[in-house]
Amino acid sequence: MKTTPSPPLTLAGIMSSFRRAFSGIALMSGVVNVLALTGSFFMLQVYDRVVPGRSVPTLVGLAMLAATLFVFQGVLELIRSRLMVRLGQGLDAKLSPSVYSALMRLPLRAKLPGDGLQPLRDLDQVRSFIGSAGPTALFDLPWMPLYIGICFIFHFWIGVTALAGAVVLFALTLLAEFRTSGPTKIAGQQAAVRSTLAEATRRNAEAMQAMGFGGRIAERWYAVNADYLNAHAAASDVAGTLGTISKILRLMLQSGMLAVGAYLVIQQEATGGIMIASSIMMGRALAPIELAIAHWKGFVSARQSWARLKQLLSAMPEGATSVTLPAPVSALAVENVSVAPPGERTPVVWDANFSLARGSGLGVIGPSASGKSSLARALTGVWLPARGAVRLDGATLDQWPTDELGKHIGYLPQDVQLFDGTIAQNIARFDPDASSDMVLAASKAAGVHDLVVHLADGYDTRVGEAGASLSAGQRQRIALARALYGDPFLVILDEPNSNLDAEGEVALSAAIQGIRDRGGIAVVVAHRSSALANVDTVLVMANGRVQAFGPKDEVLSKVFRSAAPLKVVTATERGVPA
C-alpha cells in the first residue's frame, strides 16, 4: 500500500524546481552587466586623465585593470551560456517523461491534427530556446535603467538621448511581438502538415510503388512543402527585417549620441571622455533589446510551444492511486457501456451490458462497423467509456495505474505493430526484468516457439521497424505471444487469425483454450469463424448494439435461423481439442 500518492507534475512545479538556478543566472547576469561598464569607464579615464596628464604608468595600470575585468566578464558570460544549455537539458529531463506519457495517451483521448508528434517538437523548441542567446537578453534587459541612469549622470541631454533610443527600440520590440506571432504559428502548423504527409509516404511506399500513384502524392508533397517554405520565409522575413531595423537604429543612436556629446564638448558642458564613454554606454544599454528582437521569432515559438505543453499536461494529468489493488482473478463486468472514438461525441457502441466469469471464452461477431473493435478497445481501457463502466473483480479499470493494469491484460489489435528490437524483447513487452522462462512460456502458449527457433538468430532476431523483416502472419503470431506474456487474466484478441495459415489457426485455438484452462478470460473478435472454435459464449453486435449474448450453440442457432452470413466451424470439425 502506498501511503501518499505522487503529486501530479505541472509546468509551474517544474519551473519552481529550477528557481535557484534561475536566481543564480540572474545574479551572474547582474555581475556581467556591472563588468560591462568597464569599456565605458576605461575610455572615460583615458580621455580625461591619461591623455591630458600624459601618464604612461596610469595608462598601463588602467589597461591591466580593464583587461582583468574583461577576462572576468568573458568567463562569466561563458559560464552563463553553458548554464543556460544545462538548464534546457534539465528541463527536458524533468518534462520529457510526462510529455512522452501524454503523447502515448493523447491519441486514445482526442483526435490529433498532424502526425501527433507536436508535443515532442514543442519540448525541443523550448529546450533549444533556453540554450540560445535569446534568454540572456531577457536577463540583461532589467539592467538597462542602470546604463541610462549613468548617462543622466554624465549629462541630462545624454541621458535623454539614451532614454529616447531605449523607447524607440522598445516600441520596435512590441512591433516584433505583434508581427511575428501570426506567421510563426502558421509556420508551425504547416510544418506539422508537412511531417504528416512525409510519414504517410514512408508508411505507404509499397502501395504507391505498386499502383503507380507516387507521382500524384509527390505533387501533393511539392504543394505542402511550398506552403511550409512560404510560411517559414514569411516568419523569418518579419524577424529578419525587424532585426535589421533594430541594428541600424542602434548604430544611428550611437552616432547620434556621439553627435550630442560632441555638441556638449563644443559648448564645454562635457569632456571628450564623457562623449566617447556615453556612446559606448549607449551601445551596451541598447544591445539587449537588439538581441531580444533578433531572437524574437524563437521566443514566440517557444512561448507558443510552452502554452501547448501546459495545455497538454493539464488535459492529460498522470493518475496517482493510494492503494494497489490485487490482481483480478474472478470476473469481467461490462455495465451499460457506451463508447465513442477519441474526439467524437457520437457513440459507436451503445449500452453494452454483459459479464463473464473466470475460465470463459467470449466470441464477438457481427458485420463490419458494428462496434466490435470499439468494444474491444473499451475492455482493455484503451478507449474510455462515454458512460457506463468496465470492471475487473468489481473495480473499474481506471483504479489501476496504467502499467499495473497492463500486467493483467493481453491485447492483440487488428493492426499489429511491433517495435524495432528482438523477438524476445517484443514478446516480453520490453520488460528489462523479463526472464527467459517467462518469454518461453508466452511463446509456447502462443504456439510460436518452433517458428522462432527456426529463424537465423532465434529469439535474438531483430524484427525491424514495425516488424518489417517478418511476414504478416509471423508478426501476428509474435504479437499473440506478447498478449499472453505474464499470463494476464483478461486477453482480448481482435481478428487474431486474419493473417494466419492452418498451422497458425491450430496454435490460436490452443492458445484460447489455454487461457480458459488457467482461469483467465478470453475475448475474441472475429469475422472468420475458425477463431470461435474454443469459446463457450457468443455476443452478436449490429449497429453498435448488442443483439444477442449467451451460450455459443444457442446464440449461433439464432444467427443461422436469421440467415446471418457467418458460418462457424466447430472444434471437432477442425480436429482441434475443444
**Stretch (H or E) spanning 349:** strand 349-357
pLDDT at 317: 65
Distance in angstroms (rounded) separating the CA atoms of residues 513 and 53: 104
**pLDDT class for 481, splitting at 50, 70, 90?**
very high
Nearest to 346 by CA among 371, 365, 322: 371
Q: Is the pLDDT of residue 493 over 90?
A: yes
Q: Is the pLDDT of residue 222 over 50?
A: yes
**Long-range contacts of residues 462-467, Cβ cutoff 8 Å, at least 24 apart:** 462/420, 462/421, 462/422, 463/418, 463/419, 463/420, 463/421, 463/422, 463/423, 463/426, 464/420, 465/420, 466/417, 466/418, 466/419, 466/420, 467/416, 467/417, 467/418, 467/426
Calculate the average pLDDT of the chain.
83
Intra-chain end-to-end CA distance of the chain, in Å: 42
pLDDT average, residue stretch 528-547: 87
Cell digits of residue 283: 551601445
Q: Which domains does the chain have, with CATH numbers?
A: 11-315 (1.20.1560.10), 326-408+489-498+515-571 (3.40.50.300), 414-487 (3.40.50.300)
pLDDT at 336: 93
Span 171-205, pLDDT tens digits: 887 777 777 777 777 887 788 788 878 877 877 77
pTM confidence score: 0.70
Distance in angstroms (rounded) separating the CA atoms of residues 483 and 343: 27
| Alpha helices by DSSP H, 471-551 | 472-484, 502-517
541 CA to centre of own chain: 37
Answer whether 362's CB lies under 8 Å from 521's CB. yes
Sign of the C-alpha dihedral computed for residues 166, 169, 175 and 181 taken in this order: negative
Answer whether 390's CB lies under 8 Å from 333's CB. yes
| Alpha helices by DSSP H, 446-548 | 449-453, 472-484, 502-517
pLDDT average, residue stretch 299-315: 81
Residue % of the chain over a pLDDT of 70: 91
Distance in angstroms (rounded) separating the CA atoms of residues 507 and 513: 10
Question: CA 352 → CA 117, 339, 389, 545, 547, distances in Å?
Answer: 34, 9, 10, 7, 10
Answer whether 263's CB lies under 8 Å from 292's CB. no
Q: What does the longest C-alpha to C-alpha distance in the chain come to?
A: 117
Answer whether 185's CB lies under 8 Å from 231's CB. no
Task: Give the pairing type, strands 537-542 and 409-412.
Answer: unpaired
pLDDT average, residue stretch 51-62: 85
Cell digits of residue 333: 463486468
Sign of the C-alpha dihedral computed for residues 15, 400, 513 and 350 taken in this order: negative
Q: Is the pLDDT of residue 8 over 70?
A: no
440 or 241: which carries more pLDDT confidence? 440
pLDDT at 112: 60
Residues near 533 by beta carbon (within 8 Å), at least 6 away in sequence: 509, 512, 569, 570, 571, 574, 576, 578
Residue 241, CB-side half-sphere exposure with 13 Å CA sphere: 10
Residue % of the chain over a pLDDT of 90: 25
Sign of the C-alpha dihedral computed for residues 50, 56, 58 and 60 taken in this order: positive
Nearest to 459 by CA among 435, 483, 486, 488: 435
Q: Which amino acid would we find at residue 479?
A: A
Q: Is the pLDDT of residue 4 over 60?
A: no
Residues near 318 by beta carbon (within 8 Å), at least 6 away in sequence: 6, 8, 9, 98, 101
Q: Which amino acid would we find at residue 540?
A: V
Span 329-380, pLDDT tens digits: 999 999 999 999 887 888 999 999 999 999 999 999 988 888 999 999 999 9
Nearest to 512 by CA among 481, 535, 490, 530: 535
Answer whether 94's CB lies under 8 Å from 17's CB. yes
